[in-house]
């Protein structure tokens, strides 16, 4: 005698291994971090946490949140642990320090980014490749009012644009997180092989290493009197963008770091010429 459909156990209806098999494997989900920069509305943060749980992601970092009690957002239905376990930082560079690929999100309506712009449907292959090489990824979302600033984007390797109608280009924070993670879950899952050990050397350099390199290059520029002190902040921004555009891996970063350290050391030891001393 057959049972009515509503009395059949769920595991009898859905064959093991078939339900949501398009989602990324757990080890890859664990290497993708959703970063919320200065979010204002706890309800939006809860909605973002719920979307993360929907697609198997659990790592959230919140940078300088506006509301003090954001971990208690009731909109995190089925995902209170995502908010409770989220890391809170004061600065974006701290949030992405360990990441080898940092992806900013936003609209091009009011900005002309220095980074490579990629459409959301074209993002999953880049994410799949970085994950297959053992990298760590950050998806960065800006505050509800104005999105990521030019300074925020200087820490990003690329800017992903969500296709929207020009009459309403902005999107709710929770919805934006859901749309982006859905695309990754559906399209980046084609690369399920785990090449973490073999691909570690090919993964991009961590953001903290690129910041260290930028600092040493900046010291070298100062020692060489490359530009006036008033230009140092602009130079640091341009260096951040340039180093991420070069897509250096850890080995390349180590070599370039050693080179500029040697140049800076040598410049500081150069004798003063007689005509300069007079």
Question: What pTM was computed for the model?
Answer: 0.83
Residue 62's DSSP bridge partners are 36, 88
pLDDT band at 105 (very low <50, low <70, confident <90, very high): very high
Domain boundaries, the chain: 23-200, 205-271
For 46-75, what is each residue's pLDDT tens digit? 999 999 999 999 999 999 998 888 888 888
pLDDT at 276 over 60: no
Pairing assessment for the beta strands 32-37 and 137-141 based on DSSP bridges: parallel
pLDDT at 278 over 50: no
Q: Which parts of the chain fold into alpha helices (H)?
A: 10-13, 26-29, 42-54, 80-84, 92-95, 123-132, 150-153, 173-187, 196-199, 207-223, 232-246, 250-269, 274-277
For 163-211, what is each residue's pLDDT tens digit? 888 888 888 999 999 999 999 988 776 544 444 444 444 678 999 999 9
pLDDT at 250 over 70: yes
Pair of tokens at residue 177: 């997180």
Of 33-37, 103-107, 202-206, 252-256, where does mean pLDDT reach its minimum?
202-206
Query: Cα 276 to chain center, whole Å?
Result: 47
**23-200 under CATH 3.40.1280.10, yes or no:** yes
Task: Give the whole-number percent of the chain exceeding pLDDT 70.
Answer: 83
Most confident of 82-96, 227-241, 259-273: 82-96
């Amino acid at each position: 005698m057959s049972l009515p459909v509503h009395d059949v156990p769920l595991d009898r209806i859905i064959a093991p291994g078939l339900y949501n098999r398009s989602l990324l494997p757990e080890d890859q989900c664990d290497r993708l971090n959703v970063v919320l920069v200065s979010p204002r509305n706890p309800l939006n943060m809860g909605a973002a946490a719920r979307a993360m749980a929907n697609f198997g992601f659990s790592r959230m970092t919140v940078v300088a949140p506006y509301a003090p009690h954001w971990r208690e957002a009731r909109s995190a239905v089925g995902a209170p642990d995502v908010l409770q376990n989220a890391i809170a930082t004061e600065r974006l560079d701290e949030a992405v320090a360990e990441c080898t690929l940092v992806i900013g999100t936003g609209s091009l309506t009011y900005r002309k980014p220095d980074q490579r712009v990629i459409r959301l449907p074209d993002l999953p292959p880049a994410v799949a490749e970085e994950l297959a090489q053992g990298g760590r990824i950050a998806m960065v979302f800006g505050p509800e009012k104005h999105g990521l600033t030019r300074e925020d984007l200087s820490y990003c390797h690329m800017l992903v644009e969500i296709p929207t109608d020009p009459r309403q280009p902005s999107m709710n924070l929770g919805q934006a997180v859901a749309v982006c993670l859905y695309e990754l879950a559906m399209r980046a899952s084609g690369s399920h092989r785990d090449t973490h050990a073999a691909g570690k050397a090919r993964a991009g350099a961590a953001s903290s290493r690129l910041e260290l390199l930028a600092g040493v290059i900046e010291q070298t520029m100062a020692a060489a009197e490359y530009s006036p002190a008033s230009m140092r902040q602009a130079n640091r921004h341009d260096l951040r963008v340039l180093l991420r555009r070069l897509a250096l891996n850890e080995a390349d970063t180590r070599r370039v770091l050693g080179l500029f350290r040697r140049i800076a050391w040598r410049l500081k030891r150069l004798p003063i010429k007689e005509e300069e001393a007079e």
